Structure 1
Amino acid sequence: MNGGQTKNAALTTALAFHYQVLIGLDKCFSLEEGQAVWFEKDGDVSLMSPDTLASSQTEVKYYAAPLTDHHENLWKTLKNWLATDFDHTQYGVLVLHTTQAFGATTQLKDWNTQTVEKRLQVLQDVFAERTDEQLNAEKPSDIIKLQKAVMACDEALLKNVLGKVTLFTEADNAQELEKQILAKPVGIPKNNLNSYLHGLVGFVYAQAAQHSWSINQQAFAAKCEELTALLCKKEFTFPLFSGYEASELEVELHQDRPFVQKIAEIEHHEMIPDAVGNWLELQNSLLEQLDEYPLYKDKTVAYQNQLVKKYKLVHSSAQLEATDAIKSSKLLYNKTMQEQPLNMGNDIPPIEYKNGLIHDAMDDDERDLKWRVEP
């Protein structure tokens, strides 16, 4: 016995079932009030609505081989829908949802635009291709058993069912379906989308009970709201600032920058490693591939303009109160660095972010800012 084959078969079955769950999950997003998605009620996935015409039953097939005239997926599905224990009157639409493409020579290609009479004729023409020897064999193949069972049905019943059948071919595979689902939520950062998907998939599986498995519109909407509240960022949040202190090499590399020269000018040399560290941390944060980068950049520019406007007033006051150029300049520097950041919405930014922005502004020749004050 080849254990690999058994394992592979089990995995294939599991993946096909998961695909069925994703189809049902996708349908949940279109639920209206009073509607529900059911799994394994009358088949794979059913959308039940107070309006019968809006109700649908879907058979899900995750196959690579083409859908041909004699493919089991078509005939087995039709047989199930014609069975006495299946009440087709509950549904306005019956869907064969398959990843298969139509076969090159199949007579099924125009199915969805054909009349009931034409659909019946197509089945009759396909069935007519069977020889008497095939039909009357002592042990006919499974597909012939299915075809005989379908074509032996009462014609009125057959027409009623065929009139509701839609063939949905070349359906998205599981990966594409997940992408489609992940395109639905709004306001959830990219890095949280997989958590959102896993939360919904887990919710769907958790609704399976011993005798039924369904998700109603109200419960699904509530779960979506819960996950959105958990995973979205109601307020902008900053990248992590750790208060990085520059190394001797980094200080040396940046010693000629204007913002470093302006600190040296007031003989506050011991503050330079912290200043370079704050400046570097800010620059690195602007280079990170953040989901919110455009928003972060825009807010940073606006916040820096606020800081500069405030600093000009503080510098002007320090100039008026100055008694000693170096001492007064150092006091202005210390006061500015220690000052708590201005609020940004409901957030207080990291102090290193604020200080990095001030050094960045000092580095901009056009702003013409300086630490030095003159008595």
Structure 2
Amino acid sequence: MSGSQTENAALTTALAFHYQVLIGLDKCFSLEDGQSIWFEKDGDVSLISSDALTSIQTEVKDYAAPLTDHHENLWKTLKNWLDPAFDHTQYGVLVLHTTQAFGATTRLKDWNTQSEEQRLEVIKTIFAERTEEQLNAEKPSQIIKLQKAVMAADKLLLKSVLGKVILFTQSDSAQELEKQILSQPLGIPKNNLKSYLDGLIGFVYAQANQQSWSIKHQEFSAKCEELTALFCKKEFTFPVFSGYAASEPDIELHEYRPFVQKIAEIEHHEMIPDAVGNWLELQNSLLEELDESALYKDKTISYQNQLVKKYKLAYSSAQLEATDTIKSAKLLYNKTIGEQPLNLGNDIPPIEYKNGLIHDAMDDEERDLKWKVGP
């Protein structure tokens, strides 16, 4: 049972963090020249501008329970913004961004239209509900500790912070955020949108290092243009092939496949990792649900048939010229794998795609292809 709870807790934390990333990604679309989005700088998500008045610090909360007068999310966030380590003067706006709706009887509903004096009176009134027994308990609850810390803050500092606070409630869920983000690009076919989103999310995560995690306006715009050019395709082009290098587990998992056995048969063992990597990358590309999936599969079948015809001719020549079975087979392998791809219309396929198709053909027992030459 304890193991299950730990796993669930870890998953909840991971999902909450991913939600924070989606909030930051969504804000990237509103960036202007010179602005940037930072994660974990002064809190969850920060929009940094040269002008502090237009800089925004956002604390992100993904909660189902309503936002009530005594909810920890409000008071913990206020405490963090009052901490001496946090310089509120760097920001013109402080946002509590939460999926929560206001509680039915909360005094916070008019917060965003109130002055700093009125907001101070609201939290004073809420705090006044605490009894002496609650405040002076030997082991006060966490919310009591937070409220006492906020109310003990310097009054000028407290008013300054309260004046900047915006409560953004009932914000979009992660699924709704993804839909909103995907409403930004124009001209990308529907079936390519998930790949576009995955590309953006991957880009955001990739900007993190041990020192900082930020996305600049110019870098984000360039990435959007790159992904739009990739997925907003008018003519058929091939999916991206990166030259995947198979890991040891990959090789162990597939070492008994016919195409791997045929390479081992000619003692060309050092070529197996690249072969498995090319084969896996081909298989994965055929599983992608891109807008041109059907066309890609049809072209792939046709292209593989051309490669097989070419290979059979090369194999026949190798048989005629063979003097050393293993050496001749290795030379045939090297020449075949090293050859540049055949043109397919006006497009030149990636070499990994070509080689993946050759290994796939070797894996097809009905084709009866092999590398070994001679008797």
TM-score bracket relative to the smaller structure:
0.5 to 0.7
**Aligned AA (1:40):** E
1:127 matched to which residue of 2? 127
Q: How many angstroms does 1:231 deviate by?
A: 0.7
Provide the rounded CA distance (Å) in 1 between the counterparts of 2:221 and 2:44. 22
2:324 matched to which residue of 1? none
2:20 matched to which residue of 1? 20
- With the length of structure 2 as denominator, give the TM-score of the two structures: 0.63
**Aligned AA (2:145):** K
**Aligned AA (2:152):** A
Provide the rounded CA distance (Å) in 2 between the counterparts of 1:22 and 1:90. 23
Provide the rounded CA distance (Å) in 1 between the counterparts of 2:25 and 2:233. 24
**Aligned AA (2:180):** Q
**Aligned AA (2:222):** A
Task: Give the conservation status (yes or no) of the 8 Å contact 2:54–2:92.
Answer: yes
Task: Give the conservation status (yes or no) of the 8 Å contact 2:192–2:291.
Answer: no
Provide the rounded CA distance (Å) in 1 between the counterparts of 2:52 and 2:43. 17
Secondary structure of 2:65's partner?
coil
2:110 matched to which residue of 1? 110
Provide the rounded CA distance (Å) in 2 between the counterparts of 1:234 and 1:210. 40
1:47 matched to which residue of 2? 47
Q: How many angstroms does 1:211 deviate by?
A: 1.2
**Aligned AA (1:105):** T
Provide the rounded CA distance (Å) in 2 between the counterparts of 1:234 and 1:54. 40
**Aligned AA (2:228):** T
Query: Is 2:38 the counterpart of 1:38?
Result: yes
Task: Give the conservation status (yes or no) of the 8 Å contact 2:28–2:217.
Answer: yes
Query: Is 2:7 the counterpart of 1:7?
Result: yes
| Superposition pairs of residues 162-181 of structure 1, within 5 angstroms | 162-181=162-181
Provide the rounded CA distance (Å) in 1 between the counterparts of 2:236 and 2:186. 15
2:198 matched to which residue of 1? 198
**Aligned AA (2:208):** A
Provide the rounded CA distance (Å) in 1 between the counterparts of 2:125 and 2:33. 43
Provide the rounded CA distance (Å) in 1 between the counterparts of 2:7 and 2:97. 26
Deviations 1:132-170 (A, max 9, x none): 000001110000000000000011000100000000000
Deviations 1:6-30 (A, max 9, x none): 1111111000000000000000000
| Superposition pairs of residues 1-375 of structure 1, within 5 angstroms | 1-235=1-235
Provide the rounded CA distance (Å) in 2 between the counterparts of 1:236 and 1:16. 38
Q: How many angstroms does 1:2 deviate by?
A: 2.1
Secondary structure of 1:147's partner?
helix
Provide the rounded CA distance (Å) in 2 between the counterparts of 1:39 and 1:143. 26
Question: Which segments of structure 1 move beyond 6 Å, counting only runs of 4 or more?
Answer: none
Task: Give the conservation status (yes or no) of the 8 Å contact 2:59–2:97.
Answer: yes
- With the length of structure 1 as denominator, give the TM-score of the two structures: 0.63
Q: How many angstroms does 1:53 deviate by?
A: 1.1
**Aligned AA (2:40):** E
Provide the rounded CA distance (Å) in 2 between the counterparts of 1:69 and 1:130. 12
**Aligned AA (1:155):** K
**Aligned AA (1:29):** F
Q: Show structure 2 runs of 5+ residues with no match.
A: 238-289, 293-345, 348-375
Provide the rounded CA distance (Å) in 2 between the counterparts of 1:218 and 1:71. 39
Secondary structure of 1:101's partner?
coil
**Aligned AA (2:134):** Q
Provide the rounded CA distance (Å) in 2 between the counterparts of 1:236 and 1:5. 48
Provide the rounded CA distance (Å) in 1 between the counterparts of 2:236 and 2:13. 43
Q: Show structure 1 runs of 5+ residues with no match.
A: 238-289, 293-345, 348-375
Q: How many angstroms does 1:234 deviate by?
A: 3.5
Secondary structure of 1:107's partner?
coil
Provide the rounded CA distance (Å) in 2 between the counterparts of 1:180 and 1:144. 38
2:355 matched to which residue of 1? none
Provide the rounded CA distance (Å) in 1 between the counterparts of 2:196 and 2:81. 35
**Aligned AA (2:132):** D
RMSD (Å), alpha carbons: 1.7
Provide the rounded CA distance (Å) in 2 between the counterparts of 1:102 and 1:291. 42
Provide the rounded CA distance (Å) in 2 between the counterparts of 1:187 and 1:131. 61
> How many positions carry a matched residue from both structures?
242
Q: How many angstroms does 1:84 deviate by?
A: 0.1
Q: How many angstroms does 1:92 deviate by?
A: 0.5
Q: How many angstroms does 1:187 deviate by?
A: 1.0
Provide the rounded CA distance (Å) in 2 between the counterparts of 1:227 and 1:21. 19
Identical pairs, percent: 81
Provide the rounded CA distance (Å) in 2 between the counterparts of 1:68 and 1:152. 21
